[in-house]
Each structure stands twice: as structure tokens, then as C-alpha cells.
Amino acid sequence: MTQHDDCPLCHPTGERVLWHNGRLRVIAVDDAGYPGYTRVIWNDHAAEMTDLTPQEREAFMAVVWQVEQAQRQCLQPDKINLAQFGNMVPHLHWHAIPRWREDSHFPQAIWAAPPERTPQQAQAWEARKAHLLQQLPDYYTRLAAALAPEPQADPMAPAPDEPNTLNGPLLTHLQNLDEVWKETLREPEPKNALRNLAAFLKTRLAEGAEIYPRYPFRALSYAAPDSVRVVILGQDPYHGPGQAQGLCFSVPDDFPAPPSLQNIFKELALEYPDPDGAAAGRPQRGAVRPPGNLGHDLTPWAEQGVLLLNTVLTVESGQPASHAKQGWEAVTDALIQRVARSPQPKVFMLWGSHAQAKRQLLPADGEHLVLLANHPSPLSALRPPRPFIGCNHFRLANEWLSAQGAQTIDWTGMGCDESAADGG
């Protein structure tokens, strides 16, 4: 997240936050003269609405409309003033100010000189204010409920009884992606590669090949490039039935953890030992239980802005690397470069020589953090000079994100580094 050291909205103190997510927060303004006065603030430091993508502008204004709706329902104002100034603090925020005919400035703006009021008018306004102050708890509760996200099923997650084989022509899987991903994939090199891949996959399916996963672009469905906070690169999907989910290293919870995923869990247990001391700062032997509330399915990471991207997005049953060098590399290189061009701070975890070869796609100016280690495979996880076990990448990522003023990742589902996670 981009922040400015001297911006009071980048570094707020004493805010009463009514609701927030990774991009926005809604705060109650402490103004005794105007009960229900609310601000909607874009967390990133941007000056104008046109600094945002169309999707971001839509998300921003959807929250403003929800604030207005809750004010109308609970406070029943005669008018609502919506304003976006930023002349003194050029950080995007909207004011939502409920107004009444009795208030001390009506019909003028609240920043204007107040018109003269008779004692009867002033008394009527004080009586109305007293009633409105009693309504504020209901307004705050209703607003938070209106903004709470509806629980939604992941449209790209196969149902338990659904096969994880490729579903339909490849290019149809692009339709539901964020527009920024689509624009990236319309560039000449990935566009041509996708056209060739579509023909290749169509031929292989006609020849009876079983291809995984069902939704090759699933990793892109959780965040646009600017919302990605951490990138973890894998090679190609798991090649066994039911395993590949479209997220690198991840398998459904009811599947055994593959060896590389077990080593990821071992490293997490080293960095975030169980509160009861069971991990005791050392890897467990045998079957490795995921730490905290994490399962074998890494979707909770993806939902926090961790891009779990394989560099090849399809594979044939029982044939690892069977779709390597068919064009996927041009596609995923374009995606990696688009994420790297984003100004928001990001961590790239490059595990193994295959992932580390992508370092040349990243800017060399140190804008993002690049962490290198061996692949978590049992063949290399303990091998010097950069063993994966003991790399401390998950903690290093959170410490760096926090230092940049960005929100950290809850790697274990237990609120790890919770104190740092509020930094953005």
C-alpha cells in the first residue's frame, strides 16, 4: 500500500472505524453539530478518483451509496450532502453528511457561515439533535451489517463430487477475470500464446487426454494485480485425480498433503509455533498437520491477496510437466510482470531454480521484496546454501509488509502477527 509520511489519513490517530476492508474504511466523524456525519476513506494514498481503476471506483462508490442508504433509513435526514474535496489533505475520501432543515447551517454548506436563527429554531435543532444522538448506535450497527460481505461460494472451486478435469474451451475461462488481468492477456505475446494453447488443449481433449485443473485461471480470481500482496510461484499443477485446484501447492482438505506442502507446513510451524507449545520450534515427524486453523486447501491465503500461481497452468493425468513449453510460460510471465509493475509493495517468494529464473521479470530497483530459497520438495528443502526449512520467509514477508504500511498475511488462520496486521 502506498502511504505518505506526512498524510494524516495515511497515519490516522483516534479514528472510530465503523467498517473496513483491505481497500477502504468508513469512520464516524466526531462532530457534535452533525450526528451521523461519516467519512469513506480510500486506504491507499491517491489524490483523485481517476487515479483508481474503474473497478476500484465502482467499489469505492458502492460503499458511499451504502452509507447514504443507512443514513436515510436510520436518521431520516431532509438531505444528504456528499462531498469529495481533499484541498488540504489530498488523499481520497468522501464526506457523507446528513442534513436537516432545523440544523444550524441549513441550507448552506456546513463549512459556510451559519445563517441567523431565531431562539425557537435553535431550540428545535437542539431537540432534534438529542433524538438523533439516540439513533446513532442503530445507524452504526445497520451500516456495518450492510457492508459485511455476503458469504459466497467460490465459483471456481469444484464441488466435492465434481471432477477437477478441465471444463470447457480454454478461452471461456477468461470471461470472469478482473478487467486488468484481461488487458494483460490481450497483449500480443500472451494473446498469441493463449490462442495456440486453446487449440492444443482442444486437440488433446479430443484425443482422450484427462487434463487438470478444472479452472486453470483460478489463482487470478481472488485479486487484481494491485491487490496482490505476496506472490508464490509453483511449476505445474498436481497430476493426480482430484488434487489440482488452480492454486499452486494447494490440494482439497480431504486429500493428503503432498510432500512439498508438508514441508511448507513444517516451515510455518517453525515460524509460528502452536500456542500450546506442541510445535516447540521444530518440524514434526511423519504426517505433518497444518499449523493453526490452516488446512491443505490454501484458499484462505488467496483470499488475503497471496497469488498462488503455477508457471504452467494445466497438466495431463499422471504426466508431470506434460504441458510445459506449450505456451503457458509466455502467459504467466506476462502476469508476473503485470503484478511487478504495480506500485503497491509486494513480496515475491521464489522457491527453487525454476521460480528463481523469473527474477529477471522483476524490477531491480528494490521496490518489492524478493525472497529466495530452495524448493520445498524433500529433495531440496534441507539442501544448502539456501535450505527451505529455516528460511523464515513467512515472517520476513509480514515484517516487510508491515514496515511498508501494508496489511500482513494471517498464514496460520490464528491471527499470526496480528499486531502488524493493522498497519494499513
Q: Which residues are catalytic?
A: 236
- 79 DSSP 8-state letter: E
**Terminal-to-terminal C-alpha distance of the chain:** 7
Q: Are 312 and 324 in contact (CB under 8 A)?
A: yes
| Alpha carbons 409 and 307: distance in angstroms, whole number | 12
45-56 burial code (b ≥16 CB/10 A, e <16): bbeeeeebbeeb
DSSP state letter for 114:
P
DSSP 3-state of 322: coil
309 contacts 248 by C-beta, under 8 angstroms: yes
Question: Residue 309: enclosing H or E segment and its boundaries?
Answer: strand 306-310
DSSP 41-77: EESS--SSGGGS-HHHHHHHHHHHHHHHHHHHHHH--
Distance of CA 151 to the CA centre of its chain: 16
| Residue 367 near residue 345 (C-beta atoms within 8 A) | yes
